A = this chain, B = another copy of it.
Amino acid sequence: MKKPAPRNAFYAQSGGVTAVINASACGLIEAARKHRKHIGCVYAGRHGIIGALTEDLIDVSAVDTATIRALRHTPGGAFGSARYKLKGLDVNRAQYERLIEVFRAHDIGYFFYNGGNDSMDTAHKVSQIGEQLGLPITCIGVPKTVDNDLPITDCCPGFGSVAKYVAVSTREAALDVASMARTSTKVFVLEVMGRHAGWIAAAAGLAGNKPGQAPHVILFPEIAFDQPRFLDKVKTSVERNGYCVVVVSEGVQSSDGRFLAEAGSKDAFGHAQLGGVGPLIAQMVKDALGYKFHWAVADYLQRAARHIASKVDVEQAYAVGKAAVEFAVAGKNAVMPTIVRKSDRPYRWVIGEAPLQAVANAEKKVPRHYITEDGFGITAACRRYLSPLIAGEDYPPYASGLPAYVELKGKAVRKRLRTIFEL
């Protein structure tokens, strides 16, 4: 009996990129190369799922092993990512049919989708439609999000590194402010990412571990902003410590659920684009209390900061990429590898799995017991959860004082379809 021929795989990066999403790509590609009996070529979508819809595929099989290995230490999305959400099956069936058409044309039997909540939803839908259209596709989600808001998995690859960046930066900036406070800056505000979940803001709490140490105030999206209580907390901190470090999540909301700062525009997923709550909070302090202030908005710097990536995060990002391939060749479908925590101290974790359906579109916020009673800090339980995720350094190689990140010159796969798909 003839064995079934290997089929090709399609890999795509989706949504906001991270310092370690390429480490997942690296894990996945290296694993695929060890399973040639099942997986033929790996094709990556140029700019994510758009690459599939427009038949714009990069032949990863043609990339040398050193370049693939270097993906492990290169931030950003090496193949290009996309904020492009496929609509519901009932609304735009044509998108899914096009995907299947492209997959069929290139003999793609495996779909690996590296992203967050929305992407897991898409991967799940692709697995359903493939079935319906008579082209069974093995669909495996690869978790990625700096927001750390996917359910079931203990944490999300990408989060540990941004958490480390934010904790380190907060500790460093706090030393600066403490030096200056006598005659100059008394309040420093750092704005961090986290649209609905305050995990990144919480991570700043790791910067200090003794009373009086920064950050003195954390503003979470999970806790309605209370201006008088906030200002009172800042005043007390300045009076007691000489200065005050505030870390504010971009997603902090008023009690009526509106974002404090809203740029007004929305992204492709219908999310409001945020930014600017840092200066807003700083000015509020200045107006009410008169303190001299400085503020920083880390923005992309935080999620691209591969130079200060968490070793644990890099290892987990690599591991979920590798596990995705192992799941696929083991015949699993419509699942996502997860991180399962076995113990806090020493930190031990293994790879688990979750059905895509259970992950899709659900959001894990910071639980109330991880936030101190006054709403401005993190508890010991939160610290126990977060601490292992920033452990260890995984420095990239340097040349001439700069990290030697790799640039992927991907060879395009020859188009086989005559049709053009309008996005």
State in angstroms the CA–CA spacing of A307 and B167 once bound together: 12
Pick the contact of A387: B265, B278, B398, B401 (CB < 8 A).
B401
- Which of B179, B185, B206, B298 makes the CB contact (< 8 A) with A401? B206
List the one stretch of A74-82, A91-99, A217-225, A328-336 in contact with chain B: A74-82
Q: Give the size range of A's interface with the partner.
A: 35 or more
Chain B residue with minimal CB distance to A208? B402
A180-B296 contact in complex given A75-B175, A175-B76, A402-B390, C-beta closer than 8 Å: no
Task: Out of B175, B183, B265, B299, name the residue touching A83 (CB < 8 Å).
Answer: B183
Bits for A323-355, please: 1 = Cβ < 8 Å to B, else 0. Answer: 000000000000000000000000000000000
Binary flags per residue of A387-423, CB closer than 8 Å to B gives 1, else 0: 1001111010010111101000000000000000000
A231 within 8 A of B: no
Interface presence of A373 (CB below 8 A): no
Kindly state the separation between the CA atoms of A303 and B176 in the bound complex, as whole angstroms: 8
Shortest beta-carbon distance from A5 to chain B in Å: 33
Chain A 289-312 interface residues, beta-carbon cutoff 8 Å to B:
292, 294-301, 303-308, 310
Determine the chain B residues whose CB is within 8 A of the CB of A80 once the complex forms.
178-179, 182
Whether the pair A299, B294 counts as a contact (CB closer than 8 A) is yes
A184 within 8 Å of B (CB atoms): yes
User: How many monomers of this protein are in the complex?
Assistant: 2
Asked if B402 contacts A393 (CB within 8 A), the reply is no
**In the complex the two chains form, is B294's CB within 8 Å of A265's CB?**
no
**Given A76-B172, A296-B301, A301-B169 in contact, is the A183-B401 Cβ separation under 8 Å?**
no
Nearest B residue to A189 via CB reads B299
Residue A267 interfacial (CB < 8 Å): yes
CB-contacts of A258-293 with B (<8 A):
265, 267-268, 273, 275-276, 278-279, 292
Closest Cβ–Cβ distance, residue A284 to chain B (whole Å): 14
Smallest CB-CB separation from A170: which chain B residue?
B301
**Residues A301 and B393 in contact in the complex (CB < 8 Å), given A275-B294, A308-B307:** no
Complex interface: chain B residues within 8 A of A206 (CB): 401-402
B398 pairs with A395, CB closer than 8 A: no
B401 adjacent to A310 (CB under 8 Å): yes
22 contacts between A and B (CB under 8 A): A75-B176, A76-B179, A77-B176, A80-B178, A80-B179, A81-B180, A83-B183, A164-B401, A167-B402, A168-B307, A169-B301, A172-B307, A172-B405, A173-B301, A275-B279, A294-B300, A295-B299, A296-B298, A296-B299, A307-B308, A393-B395, A393-B398
The 10 closest A-B pairs by CB, nearest first: A76-B175, A77-B179, A296-B299, A390-B401, A172-B304, A47-B182, A176-B304, A173-B300, A391-B401, A83-B184
